Amino acid sequence: MKPALLLTLAFASSALASAPDWPQWRGPKSDGISPEKGLLKEWPSDGPPLAWRTKGVGNGMSSISIAGGRIYTLGKRNRDGVNGVFVTALKLADGSELWATAITTGNAPQPNGTPTVDGKLLYAIGNNGDLACLETDTGKLVWKKSFPADFGGKCMSGWGYSESPLVDGDRLIVVPGAPDAGMAALNKKTGEVIWKSEQPDFGRAGKDGAGYTGVVISQAAGIKQYVTLTGRGLMGVRASDGKFLWGYNRIANGTADIPTPIVKGDYVFGSSGYGDGGTALVKLVKAGDGVKAEEVYYLKANELQNHHGGMILLGDHVYMGHGHNNGFPTCVELMTGKVVWGKERGPGSGSAAIVMADGHLYFRYEDAVMALIEATPKGYSLKGSFPLASKNGKSWPHPVIHDGKLYLRDQNDLLCYDVKAK
């Protein structure tokens, strides 16, 4: 093989390796961490340059997924005379629309979940519990289910489902929120039910029904399991057959349980807001052919809580925005719950949605201020902030980092900033 061709192939391979897809909620590993390097370590006073801005993706708090050179998102919009919730596909290069498919029509509430992309198929859930599988190339509907109609499911409160489905092998894992289908595994190609998991009463805090988060995979206690935060708190079910394994009720609140749990080894870290939630670490221990959750610590909501901006585990520390309707940057020891630094106000106000990339936290405040904060337990270190180019109500959708770009959904707008170091 010629040296020039080898060099070209090496460069192409390197480029691909540096920009993995962001195919689902919270990124490649569902942990809110981007593996990218070579990003700005500090921002200029007016922020990084705006690469492009597109309008027309619809209203909602959905974030975006990126796969195969396309961007996917959910939004409530009127397109070609059809009013409803649409999945919209955009060109990665400039945000121009490729296709849009309605998964719910009529006067549906705005969606808050993020599409999940798996090769040639995409999965999205509307606020009313409509689950649709679409072709990524064309937007053609492959199959559809309804959590209320097909499972008897419900969400814990009136804002409706905000879940992003999890693809695991040939299965699609979802949370209908029904007593006999607290969680369910479906054939990802056909939508046929593989198993449904009963959700027993494991405490009276909170409310029955699905929470506002997705599912993460754990291997705790030597058993592969799916972990989520429901209206009644943290729970885990056995991946092989859906058997309910354990539940932890203490952090559940009576309004909305939202943050995606963190799993590490035999431990699960969870948090919720609204004053009656709080934060806890539980250890999962094998008990017979099942698992039990042992509380390591519990912190009341006024001590530590995450509203809905998410939490990042890096090494032995958790980074998060603390406070209900607040996103005070905070660093916590995972194993002890000790606050290392924080409850800093930071440059913005309101809850803060966060991701991590190249050693830095990207804090998006509710008031449409972005902040760059070094991800280190050594102390709070702000590396720049700027106001977003648009502000359409509460700035809640989670940021996405992909190929040197920072993507920020703002209701009908999608903003793309260049954050690559030059």
Q: Tell me how many domains the chain contains.
A: 1
Mean pLDDT value across residues 313-323: 97
Confidence (pLDDT) at 289: 86
Do the domain assignments include residue 204?
Answer: yes
Mean pLDDT value across residues 228-239: 98
Give 345 or 267, the one with higher predicted confidence.
267
Half-sphere exposure at residue 130, Cβ-oriented, CA atoms within 13 angstroms? 22
- Degrees to nearest 5, angle at CA 202 with 197 and 204: 125
Contact 335, 349 (CB under 8 A): no
CATH of the domain at 237: 2.40.128.630
> What is the 8-class DSSP label of residue 117?
E
Binned at pLDDT 50, 70 and 90, residue 6 comes out as very low
Confidence (pLDDT) at 19: 77
Mean pLDDT value across residues 341-357: 93
Mean pLDDT value across residues 240-263: 97
> What is the 8-class DSSP label of residue 148?
H
Binned at pLDDT 50, 70 and 90, residue 124 comes out as very high
H/E stretch holding 16: helix 3-18
- In this structure, are strands 278-287 and 290-299 parallel, antiparallel, or unpaired? antiparallel
Confidence (pLDDT) at 343: 84
Do the domain assignments include residue 256?
Answer: yes
Do the domain assignments include residue 376?
Answer: no
Do the domain assignments include residue 220?
Answer: yes
Contact 356, 22 (CB under 8 A): no
Confidence (pLDDT) at 70: 98
pLDDT digits (tens, 9 = 90+) for 174-208: 999 999 999 999 999 999 999 999 999 999 999 99
Which among 406, 372, 369, 371 is positioned nearest to 391, based on CA atoms? Answer: 369
- Degrees to nearest 5, angle at CA 111 with 103 and 356: 120
Average pLDDT over all residues of the chain: 94
Mean pLDDT value across residues 361-373: 98
Confidence (pLDDT) at 13: 41
Percent of the chain whose pLDDT exceeds 70: 96
Do the domain assignments include residue 209?
Answer: yes
Confidence (pLDDT) at 16: 40
Give the E-state strand segments of 160-223 in sequence order. Answer: 166-168, 171-174, 183-187, 193-197, 215-218
Confidence (pLDDT) at 132: 98
* Residue matched to tokens 């990126």: 66
Give per-residue burial for 176-193: e unless 16+ CB within 10 Å, then b: bbbeebbbbbbebeebee
Contact 263, 281 (CB under 8 A): no
pLDDT digits (tens, 9 = 90+) for 41-51: 999 999 999 99
The Cα 127–Cα 104 span in angstroms is: 9
pLDDT at 14 over 50: no
Do the domain assignments include residue 252?
Answer: yes
The Cα 265–Cα 130 span in angstroms is: 34
Mean pLDDT value across residues 330-344: 95
Mean pLDDT value across residues 256-271: 97
Binned at pLDDT 50, 70 and 90, residue 55 comes out as very high
Mean pLDDT value across residues 369-380: 98
Which among 212, 140, 131, 139 is positioned nearest to 167, based on CA atoms? Answer: 131
What residue numbers bound the domain in which 221 lies?
Answer: 169-308
Q: How far, CA to CA in Å, does 245 sit from each of 81, 221, 285, 286, 289?
A: 47, 11, 11, 10, 9
Do the domain assignments include residue 352?
Answer: no
